[in-house]
């Protein structure tokens, strides 16, 4: 029994994109935990980042990205034709995720002023991996709050596996706001295992899907950072920690985004393990101005790359 289900005919194409001289592929991939949350997948051995992209017309494309010399190498696979327009969109989305076109010269110039941060410019550190959409970054950030990393991984895996669109031989796409808005709170609790975060995720998705909240424009917002921070904080489920870190993915580094792990690292590095208040930490980084959140993050994760 069981009928024959034909496998879709897959089309494969390769792209090669030039990179700026200060770009470091692996440092960007491993800039924080996002590379291990689906639809991202990381292959440490082959130093490859994979990602299922959903293009504007709905086409799904699996991309395997690596770096050779000064170029980004992309192998793209899809069930549909990968036209010139689609190739352009794949390139745009990937460069945006990897922050390739973000100018870090101001940050590196600032780093050179401080003895403790002079190690940063030669390493090319500073770019933080982000998702193709602000929505995905915000949902994932809510899933990092008040839980272990393994639970975050489970929630995101459920989101892509249950509500995302399937693709041959891998993870599903990240669900669009409408997909998340189309289920109930109890469904999110039971199947995504998001617990008390479920009403927050549902409300966010419903507001976006219903056109009442526009968050994709945050990446190009002309608002001063403090004002943008207040806007981000107005989303239920996003507190000081989550908003501070979402801002980093929007290219603003004025907030520290402290969580228990970062605090612990700070105590280790600066206070011989002794706990201090958040105000003390904020005071420490205040002299570094608009880059303070990035200095803090690179400082506490420095050992990851050594």
Distance CA 241, CA 186 (A): 26
CB 120, min distance to DNA, A: 24
145: burial class by Cβ within 10 Å (0-12, 13-18, 19+)?
middle
Q: Where are the beta strands (DSSP E) in 27-102?
A: 40-43, 48-54, 60-68, 71-78
Residues facing residue 49 across a β-bridge: 42, 65
Element (H, E) at 264: helix 260-271
Query: How many chain residues are in contact with DNA, going by CB under 7 A?
Result: 26
Distance CA 158, CA 153 (A): 9
Q: What angle do CA 248, 244, 149 make, to 5 degrees?
A: 90
CB 17, min distance to DNA, A: 35
CB 96, min distance to DNA, A: 24
Distance CA 306, CA 304 (A): 6
User: In this structure, what token pair is assigned to residue 225?
Assistant: 């950072």
Element (H, E) at 233: helix 225-233
Query: Of the two residues 90 and 281, which places its CB atom closer to DNA in the complex?
Result: 281
Q: Is 195 in the site for DNA (CB under 7 A)?
A: yes
CB 99, min distance to DNA, A: 22
Q: Is 238 in the site for DNA (CB under 7 A)?
A: yes
259-298 binders of DNA (CB under 7 A): 259-261, 264
CB 39, min distance to DNA, A: 21
Residues facing residue 169 across a β-bridge: none
Residues 157 and 38 sit within 8 Å (Cβ to Cβ): yes
Query: Of the two residues 51 and 197, which places its CB atom closer to DNA in the complex?
Result: 197
142-171 binders of DNA (CB under 7 A): 145-148, 150-151, 154
User: In this structure, what token pair is assigned to residue 187?
Assistant: 């469904």
Which residue among 18, 20, 226, 239 contacts DNA (CB under 7 A)?
239
Which residue among 87, 193, 284, 302 contacts DNA (CB under 7 A)?
193
> Of 46-54, 125-133, 161-169, 237-245, which part binds DNA (CB under 7 A)?
237-245
Query: Of the two residues 28 and 158, which places its CB atom closer to DNA in the complex?
Result: 158
79-118 binders of DNA (CB under 7 A): none
> Of 60-68, 84-92, 210-218, 233-241, which part binds DNA (CB under 7 A)?
233-241
Which residue among 237, 249, 281, 288 contacts DNA (CB under 7 A)?
237
Q: Is 196 in the site for DNA (CB under 7 A)?
A: yes
Q: Is 301 in the site for DNA (CB under 7 A)?
A: no
Longest dimension (CA), the chain: 72
Distance CA 124, CA 64 (A): 22
Query: Of the two residues 79 and 151, which places its CB atom closer to DNA in the complex?
Result: 151
Query: Of the two residues 43 and 227, which places its CB atom closer to DNA in the complex?
Result: 227
Q: What Å distances lie between residue 77 and 10, 15, 95, CA to CA?
A: 6, 11, 18
Task: Give the footprint of DNA on this chain (CB under 7 A).
Answer: 145-148, 150-151, 154, 189, 193, 195-196, 200, 233, 235-243, 259-261, 264
């Amino acid at each position: 029994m069981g009928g024959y289900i034909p496998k879709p005919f897959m089309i494969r194409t390769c792209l090669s994109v030039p990179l700026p001289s200060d770009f470091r592929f692996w440092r960007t991939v491993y800039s924080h935990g996002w590379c291990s949350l689906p639809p991202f997948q990381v292959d440490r051995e082959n130093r490859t980042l994979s990602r299922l992209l959903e293009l504007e017309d709905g086409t799904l494309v699996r991309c395997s990205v690596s770096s050779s010399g000064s170029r980004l190498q992309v192998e793209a696979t899809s069930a549909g034709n990968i036209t010139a327009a689609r190739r352009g969109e794949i390139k745009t989305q990937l460069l945006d995720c990897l922050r390739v076109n973000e100018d870090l010269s101001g940050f590196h110039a600032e780093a050179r002023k401080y003895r403790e941060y002079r190690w940063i410019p030669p390493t090319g550190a500073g770019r933080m991996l982000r998702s193709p959409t602000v929505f995905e970054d915000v949902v994932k950030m809510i899933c990092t709050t008040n839980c272990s990393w393994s639970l975050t991984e489970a929630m995101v895996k459920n989101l892509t596996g249950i509500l995302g669109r399937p693709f041959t031989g891998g993870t599903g796409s990240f669900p669009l706001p409408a997909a998340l808005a189309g289920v109930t709170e109890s469904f999110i609790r039971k199947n995504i295992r998001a617990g008390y975060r479920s009403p927050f995720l549902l409300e966010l998705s419903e507001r976006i899907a219903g056109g009442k909240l526009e968050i994709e424009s945050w990446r190009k917002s002309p608002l001063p950072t403090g004002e943008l921070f207040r806007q981000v904080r107005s989303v239920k489920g996003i507190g000081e920690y989550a908003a501070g870190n979402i801002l980093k993915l929007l290219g603003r580094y004025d907030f520290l985004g402290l969580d228990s792990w970062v605090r612990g690292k700070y105590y280790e590095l600066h206070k011989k393990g002794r706990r201090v208040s958040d105000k003390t930490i904020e005071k420490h980084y205040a002299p570094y101005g608009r880059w303070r959140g990035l200095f803090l993050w690179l400082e506490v994760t420095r050992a990851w790359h050594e």
